[in-house]
């Protein structure tokens, strides 16, 4: 049962908190652990609440230095999945999650080895925007779009660009028609990405961003 197994997984996370504080990467078992936690979160959805405090505390700590960047990447992915599972029930932990994400999103020119951390943070931010309810994210929506635009202005990394478009799409579910004035800036960026991308990638970009425009017209 989930109520029996999830505490065991959380216990393993706590062991990594202790043993990984020296920056050790560990092996594939860490990947398997986070995979299991994400699957439990997806299946339990809001029933995850009894375990939320311990789980969030562990993952947000592991998402920050001094832990190895691979562990931080896995932890950020887990945070996004937990947010998507719990939706509005994640709000007691919202400020702490946002604080962790900002440490990766405030650097507009991260070193190459940390780009994937920024990608994961963007994906988690997008999940927050579309999961916690418009009323809870509305005050951050415009600044979040500005963040995405600022990143697009300084990076050519395809993963960061793709995740930034995902942020725009998620924020459009919050702002709805109020997103329309920003489309004059956003749409040309998407069209340029479509023009420059290989055909298969272009189709993917189109499908991912089609809703962005449709929700705001």
**What are the tens digits of pLDDT across the range 123-169?**
999 999 999 999 999 999 999 999 999 999 998 899 999 999 999 99
Quick one: 97 and 138 in the same domain?
no
Quick one: 72 and 139 in the same domain?
no
Identify whether 161 is part of a domain. yes
How much is the pLDDT for 211?
Answer: 58
**Which of these three, 85, 113, 141, is where a domain ends?**
113
76 burial via Cβ count (<10 Å: 0-12, 13-18, 19+): buried
Identify the domain containing residue 54 by its residue range: 1-113
Predicted structure pTM score: 0.88
Quick one: 92 and 46 in the same domain?
yes
Quick one: 108 and 137 in the same domain?
no
Quick one: 143 and 55 in the same domain?
no
- Give the pair of three-digit tokens for residue 162: 């793709």
DSSP 22: G
Q: What's the CA gap between 49 and 46, in Å, rounded?
A: 6
Identify whether 124 is part of a domain. no
Quick one: 210 and 157 in the same domain?
yes
Quick one: 152 and 73 in the same domain?
no
Could you tell me which residues come within 8 angstroms of residue 82 by beta carbon, excluding any fewer than 6 positions away? 41, 48, 52, 55, 56, 59, 90
Q: Please, what is the end-to-end C-alpha distance for the chain in angstroms? A: 46
How much is the pLDDT for 187?
Answer: 87
How many domains, in total, are found in the chain? 2
How much is the pLDDT for 209?
Answer: 52
């Amino acid at each position: 049962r989930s109520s029996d197994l999830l505490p065991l997984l959380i216990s393993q996370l706590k062991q990594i908190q202790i043993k990984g504080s020296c920056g050790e990467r560990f092996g594939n078992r860490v990947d398997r652990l986070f995979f299991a936690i994400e699957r439990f979160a997806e299946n339990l959805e809001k029933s995850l609440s009894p375990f939320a405090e311990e789980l969030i505390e562990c993952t947000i700590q592991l998402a920050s230095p001094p832990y190895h960047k691979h562990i931080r990447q896995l932890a950020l992915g887990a945070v996004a999945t937990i947010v998507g599972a719990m939706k509005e029930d994640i709000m007691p932990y919202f400020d702490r999650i946002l604080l962790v994400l900002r440490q990766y999103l405030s650097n507009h020119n991260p070193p190459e080895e940390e780009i994937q951390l920024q990608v994961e943070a963007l994906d988690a931010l997008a999940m927050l925007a579309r999961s916690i309810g418009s009323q809870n994210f509305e005050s951050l929506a415009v600044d979040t779009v500005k963040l995405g635009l600022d990143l697009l202005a300084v990076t050519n990394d395809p993963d960061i660009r793709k995740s930034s478009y995902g942020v725009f799409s998620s924020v459009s579910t919050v702002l709805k028609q109020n997103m329309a004035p920003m489309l004059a800036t956003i749409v040309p960026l998407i069209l340029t990405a479509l023009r420059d991308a290989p055909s298969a990638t272009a189709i993917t970009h189109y499908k991912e961003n089609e809703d962005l425009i449709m929700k705001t017209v």
